[in-house]
Structure formats: structure tokens, C-alpha cells
Amino acid sequence: MKITYRTIYESDNSALATIIKSTLIEYDSATDGTVFTDKGTNALSTTFTDSRSRYFVAYLGEELLGGAGINLLPGESDNVCELQRMFLKPAARNKGIGKKLMQLCLDFAKEQNFTICYLETFPKLKEAILLYEKTGFEYIDHSMGNTGHFACTTRMIYRIE
């Protein structure tokens, strides 16, 4: 079966929240100061409603594999966005699905005239960090914006050209 990609629907919310929370549990990162405790994690379709935001999901047949989104970064200028909530089921990892989701996000960010994409993550998410590095994200030593994710200690930016 072929992997399909589309924007999020309300019907995706519950399954996405399960993927996100189970991944954080898997990596021993289910704590305050992360998306694990964000109310928006349970209703992602309502989190990405601004015209300059978008959340993409990947499906194999009827099975939701995961997703990733681009959103405005609160507390920053309007040229800065954030790659948010990029999570996949374990069986969907290392198959190019995360790379495709991230590329959809970065292409959308470019269309929206963002020039910098920020992300926050955990050192334990080594596979994701490797993907970010290969894509061209660079480490920074400070947080940006007002994400409220004080537990995320790995911070990176991507310069959109």
C-alpha cells in the first residue's frame, strides 16, 4: 500500500494524541513543559487554524502513522515559524515518512514567507535529531518564542531560502 499525505482532520485528533503521548512515554520524556501536558495535543486540528499554519498527516491505508506541523512562533516576529509535533508510530520510523512530512512543512513555510523555522526537542530523540541535522537545521543555545516547553533542551533553527 502507498503512503498518503494530507492536512489534518478533526477525526485525526485522538489517534495523533495517542501517537504523541506514547512516543514521549517511550523516550521517558512524558513530563510537564512538553507537548505531553499541552491541552492542544488532544485537539491538534484546532491548534493549526491560522492561515499561516498547517499540520500534515501520513496514512498507510486507513492507519494513521503520524504527522508534523508548521505554526507561528508566539513571541517572535512574523517571519519565524516553528516545526511542531513531529511524531510517528515506531513502525513508521526510518522509512522516509518523517522526512516527507518535514519537507511538506518546510515547503509550506516557504510559501508563507517565513525565513526561519525553529524547533525544540529532547536529546533522547536521536533519530529525529539526525533527520533535522541532515535537513540543515543548526543548533542554537537559547530558546525562542513563548512555547512553554521548558523541558525541551535541544533547540535548532533552519534558514528558509
pLDDT confidence of residue 73:
92
Rounded-to-10 torsion of CA 109, 158, 71, 8:
70
| Chain segment 11-54, per-residue pLDDT in tens | 999 999 999 899 888 877 766 666 666 778 889 999 999 999 99
CATH of 3-159, one of 3.40.630.30, 3.40.50.10210, 3.30.420.40, 3.40.50.1110: 3.40.630.30
For residue 148, the model assigns a pLDDT of: 65
Q: Where are the domains of the chain?
A: 3-159
Which pLDDT score is estimated for 125?
85
- pLDDT of 150: 60
pLDDT of 143: 86
Low-confidence ranges of the chain (pLDDT < 70): 30-37, 148-151
